[in-house]
A and B are shown apart, each in its own frame.
Chain A
């Protein structure tokens, strides 16, 4: 079945460590996104990528890094520079909106809950 897969579901990180969250999609979508969700909050954009080997910072990119070496994959690294990394992280993908008449709908993975211990 087509979809977006995030792994792991739960992740624990020690202070000062970098961790990488995986996001894979087989929907053939060009655009991929990473959002952070804190309790009782909406979704805040960390990074997004519209095409392979290209990505842009979102509203809260500090302390995070991404790569987009393959169309299907958009991993997120939470670095030690991120002072408050405990949160629920969501990956999404969509068709490139610049394609005429294509639907602009984002589809989400199941999320990764990161906890700093």
Chain B
């Protein structure tokens, strides 16, 4: 099955810094989703994107659906310790029924 290329694989940042991560695919997607997973828990949906070029915010989080429909970006501003976790992107290609494809995750560590 298709896997999305997510980068960076891990990040270590100081509290208060901004964070950027991205996800790319070799084929176009109709939907991009961003999730956060805490250790030992299921992923929680942060932001959903449905149109090319769409820019959506959720508090300090902002995500964009790339114009080419083959990528998406997630930015976190003014990071805080509770932002620690693994962030996954997920995509929904056209004509694949209800299947979702997931990135390999970005592990974020925030140093107080």
- Count chain A residues whose beta carbon lies closer than 8 angstroms to a beta carbon of B: 31
Which chain A residue lies CB-closest to B9? A40
Which chain B residue lies CB-closest to A43? B102
- Count chain B residues whose beta carbon lies closer than 8 angstroms to a beta carbon of A: 26
A73-117 vs B: 1/0 string, CB under 8 Å?
Answer: 000000000000000101010101110000111111111010000
The reply to whether A31 and B48 form a contact with Cβ atoms under 8 Å apart is no
Which chain A residue lies CB-closest to B97? A50
Main secondary structure, interface of A, reads strand
Tally of A-B Cβ pairs under 8 angstroms: 68
Contacts A59-B1, A109-B42, A110-B41 hold; do A45 and B97 have CB atoms under 8 A apart?
A: no
The reply to whether A31 and B98 form a contact with Cβ atoms under 8 Å apart is yes
Which residues on B are within 8 Å of A, measured CB to CB?
1, 3, 6, 30-31, 33, 35, 40-45, 48, 50, 88, 90, 92, 97-100, 102-105
**7 pairs of A and B residues whose beta carbons are closest in the complex:** A108-B42, A59-B1, A31-B98, A42-B104, A43-B102, A104-B31, A104-B92
